[in-house]
Structure 1
Amino acid sequence: MSDTFLPGNGFDTYESQDKVLIQMADTAACAVAVRILQQQGFAVAGAAVRLAAEQAAEAEAAKQAAEKLGIECIVLNAEALAGQDADALGEGVSPLFAALLTAADKLGMQYVATPHRARVETASDGVHTVCPPAGVGADDSAALAALPQAVLARLILPLGDFAPEDVAEMAADFKV
């Protein structure tokens, strides 16, 4: 019997060639999300999404945080997306996700990830549902619930399975 972890065996592992583009921020939670994705076998790249000119300093800080984690990071100047209506972006797609998905497509990455605290579960019929995160504390599931199925199928939320105190402990363990 092989002790190799394969996708679908319940351990949420992925093939090492799978790539994910994560929304970068200069936060410990984001750094933990990167490390979780790496432990799951992903090749991780970051994207600092700038939806307004005033976010230039935040984008630069996110890029520096990615550098400290040893991953590449691009800055997505998505100011034009911030002003578009739902018809132009797609029903339920926010400018943030439109920018991430467009960049992921151009980079040949199947998945996008964010440090949002929620979980995406897939039913046996293939329908994806946004669920509350483990533990108590911040819950971003309501903010993500309107995302269309096509986005949810590509979205990974690495922090959703952990309570906030677990994320804080991982941050200390990872020294981030």
Structure 2
Amino acid sequence: MSDTFLPGSGFDTYEQQDKVLVGLCGGTGCKAAVRILQQQGFAVMGAVVRLCTDDPVVDAAKEAAKALGIECITLNASELASQLAEETAAPADLRFPALLAAADRLGIQYIATGHRARVETGADGVHVLCPAEIADESARLAALPQETLGRLILPLGDFSPEDVAEMAAE
């Protein structure tokens, strides 16, 4: 992979002031997603959702953010659950609502993750989750509401796992 423009989800026309809050976990996918979004001109900020008190993902995400040179905030999923009064929701289901709530508080329009899938908008304005070109994680995201899909950028949908690993290594 070269350092030239990397395509992804059609979000190549945004200006530098556009911001995106990226859900971080410390893995190669989120690192590559940050790199692609930065190359596309987004101002990127990271967020990690703490699902339990001793969540090892928080430290990994903070370390990844530091290596990427971006700020990373920690969101507490249990606090969000009580705010949303969704006691029946599983903790993992709170990641997207947590990212959206934080983005709203920070004045950020878009959220992004390192999932390998694509979001496309039809002529009728309906957002549709599509499988990635190679490695498909769309089944995990299929239940997301239209409001979430309309604000979600998935920059890895056009890349192979090998390309993602190479981008993360750089």
TM-score between both structures, scaled by the size of structure 1: 0.81
Q: Residues 9-45 of structure 1, C-alpha deviation per residue, up to 9 Å, x if partnerless?
A: x673311111000001212221111000001110000
- Which 5+ residue runs of structure 2 have no aligned equivalent? 1-9
- Which residue among 123, 142, 146 is the counterpart of 1:149? 146
- CA–CA separation in structure 2 for the residues paired with 1:29 and 1:123: 26
Distance 1:150 1:88, change over 3 A: farther
- Alpha-carbon contact 2:29-2:115 (below 8 Å) kept: no
Supply the AA of the counterpart residue of 2:111.
Answer: V
Q: For residue 169 of structure 1, report the CA deviation from its aligned partner.
A: 2.7
Which structure has more relative contact order (CA 8 Å, sep 6+)? It is 2
- Alpha-carbon contact 1:22-1:112 (below 8 Å) kept: yes
Aligned counterpart, 1:34: 34
CA-atom RMSD in angstroms: 2.2
- Alpha-carbon contact 1:132-1:141 (below 8 Å) kept: yes
Matched residue count: 158
Supply the AA of the counterpart residue of 2:145.
Answer: P
Once the two structures are superposed, the pairs formed by residues 17-96 of structure 1 within 5 Å of their partners are 17-55=17-55, 57-81=56-80, 94-96=93-95
- Alpha-carbon contact 1:51-1:81 (below 8 Å) kept: no
- CA–CA separation in structure 2 for the residues paired with 1:11 and 1:44: 14
- Which 5+ residue runs of structure 1 have no aligned equivalent? 1-9
Aligned counterpart, 1:114: 113
Aligned counterpart, 1:163: 160
Aligned counterpart, 1:105: 104
Aligned counterpart, 1:6: none
The structure that has the greater radius of gyration is 1
Supply the AA of the counterpart residue of 1:43.
Answer: A
Give the percent of matched residue pairs that are identical in Structure 1 and Structure 2: 63
